[in-house]
Structure 1
Amino acid sequence: MSDPHPSRPSQDKQDKRTFLQKVAEFIHPGPDSTAELIETLADAEDNDIIGPESRVMLEGVIRMAGLTAGDVMVAAPRMDLVNIDAPYDEILNIVITTAHSRFPVYDGDRENIIGILMAKDLLKLQRSPDFHLRALLRPAVFVPESKGLNDLLREFRGNRNHLAIVIDEFGRVAGLITIEDVLEQIVGEIEDEFDIVEDEGDIFGLADRTYRVSGDTSIERVNEAFGVKLVPSEEERDFDTIGGLIAHEMGHVPKRGEEAALAGLKFVVLHTKGGAVRWFKVSPVEGAGGSA
């Protein structure tokens, strides 16, 4: 005689699996918040389920979901802009000095951004001096400060733009943001031509007998390397890095090309990023000596 309920065993088995899944979820509930999810990733790393680099990237993806363009943009005062009426030599000097690949271009007022100049397009001007700069400009993309980084990254990938001008709630230029700024929230800082591997050092001797010093270098290390005393010992605790000390002495965020003299040393800002000095060029001040 045939089984009157041929499908019951499979149904019972399916019901049993579902029940066990429910029990497992009751015992080990999923994370209820971003903080719990990040803790779960840390546990996964501790259990060798994922590696440390994977955990950092996954945490970056999770945190990025709560960030906006205004959170990571380069603020307007720190933007490197090109004047549409500037002579070719001046524009070329800006490109060489800043080492950027894209530049917002303004007409008259710095608020009046009319397009984006690709550094490589300047070669066309060099070949044809009569070619007007306006003909080389790419359209500028404008985004609000409230633009989510997830959406912005999707747009960067979709329209192949790598730079956007950030606008505040009143329609004014608040800053700019690049695809690199967004990706760094996931993978960490992306090295450029000025970056070095951390364990390779932070002070380099150059061919012209000057030195290249990272802005993150501790004041103590600078003092030891150059045999100086940059600040009195009781004040040293207020500044951890040479970049912080120079910014304090200048009274503002240092910009590329600015100089400061301390303890018989001249510090020239070589490269800045995100409002902080990445590299100084350091040389003795002629005829100077002693300590600050």
Structure 2
Amino acid sequence: MSDSSSGSSWLERLGKVFSDEPESREDLVDVLKEAQSQGVIDDDALVMIEGVLDVSELRARDIMIPRPQIELIDASEPLEKILESMLESSHSRYPVMEENKIVGVLLAKDVFRAVVKGELSSKEDLQAIYREPKFVPESKRLNVLLRDFKTSRNHLALVVDEYAELAGLITIEDVLEQIVGDIEDEHDEDELSNIQKRAGESYAVQAITPLDEFSEFFDVEIENESTETIGGFLAVQLGHVPRVEEEVEYENLYIKVLKASDRRVELLEVRPLDGVEAGEGMPVAG
């Protein structure tokens, strides 16, 4: 079969699929699925087209990294400690906070270049390479944000709530992953660990973390025959599927739900109780 006849055949098949014009997004998705089933488009193309449609409706709040999970640089800390924290976490961009206010963004490549050139010997040197932070509202649509990322060549934005308080962080990679799926990089293997160190004494803990792993890491004793994960243990203690913002005390730990659906808890924040003010009416597990 010649290329022209093959092209005609493809156009005829596509025209047949779209013979009835879709009147809503749901109709369009049904048409696209029909096109996929007839071999007009492949599975990957269908996933990406649906992702493009999602990006036009989702907002920054829907996919941002919430504030408790952000690796922040505390500008008041000594230079050596700041550099050590950056080395341990191995991210490419770090928001810098001073007196509860974001004052800039540090790019790992800028810091590395300054170190190699011998131009980083003081906190003032570090401040000189701060990048200006970009702030976006929680309600910003992802398709508009993606366009802004492309035109500004700034690939990180800090998400603020209605009170102009830091709510989260979002990158161009986060937006693109809504279209093409997860994009793995050289640090993803580390990011998949169940327990991740965050700013201060805070840890982000996957709810699927086995109880024995959790117990060993935080040096606590948890015995529960009805569940094998920390998320399941929390659900047993609360008597229901944990909800976002719910808090629990267990031995010397403060546990807060960061991410959950109607069916399961997904992500927790865990901190030592020292210095944490327990919320009024906070349940005590045990």
- More displaced 10-residue stretch of structure 1: 244-253 or 180-189: 244-253
Counterparts of 2:38 and 2:45, CA distance in 1: 13
Does residue 185 of structure 2 align to residue 192 of structure 1?
yes
Number of aligned residues: 207
From 121, 129, 149, the equivalent of 2:110 is 121
- Given the superposition, is the C-alpha separation of residues 107 and 150 from structure 1 closer, same or farther in structure 2, using an over 3 Å criterion? same
Which structure 1 segments of 5+ residues have no match?
1-23, 197-201, 204-213, 223-229, 255-274, 278-292
* 1:66-112 deviation line (CA, Å, top 9, x unaligned): 11111111112221111223222211222122221001111122xx1
Aligned counterparts, 1:140-219, within 5 A? 140-195=133-188
Q: Provide Cα deviations, 1:99-134, integer angstroms capped at 9, x if missing partner.
A: 21001111122xx11111001222314623145211
Instruction: Go from structure 1 to structure 2 and tell me whether the alpha carbon gap of 1:87 and 1:152 turns closer, same or farther (over 3 Å shift).
Output: same
Does the Cα contact within 8 Å between 1:106 and 1:113 map onto a contact in 2?
yes
Percent identity for Structure 1 against Structure 2: 38
Residue 274 (structure 2) aligns with: none
Per mean C-alpha deviation after superposition, the further-off stretch among 74-83 and 50-59 is 74-83
Residue 86 of structure 2, aligned match among 86, 95, 104: 95
Indicate how the Cα distance of structure 1 residues 246 and 121 shifts in structure 2: closer, same or farther if over 3 A, else same. Answer: farther
Larger radius of gyration: 1
Q: How does 1:29-178 map to 2 (within 5 A)?
A: 29-109=20-100, 112-123=101-112, 124-125=114-115, 127-128=118-119, 129-130=121-122, 132-178=125-171
The letter for the 2-side match of 1:120 is: K
Q: Structure 2: any 5+ residue segments left out of the alignment? A: 1-14, 195-204, 214-221, 236-249, 259-265, 269-286
Give the whole-Å Cα distance in 2 for the aligned partners of 1:246 and 1:79: 26
Q: Which residue of 2 aligns with 1:287?
A: none
Conservation of the 8 A alpha-carbon contact between 1:84 and 1:133: no
CA RMSD of aligned residues (A): 3.6
Local SS of the residue matching 2:163: coil
Whether the 8 Å contact between 1:247 and 1:253 is mirrored in structure 2 is no
CA distance in 2, matches of 1:159, 1:194: 26
Distance verdict in 2 for CA 1:101–1:194, change over 3 Å? closer
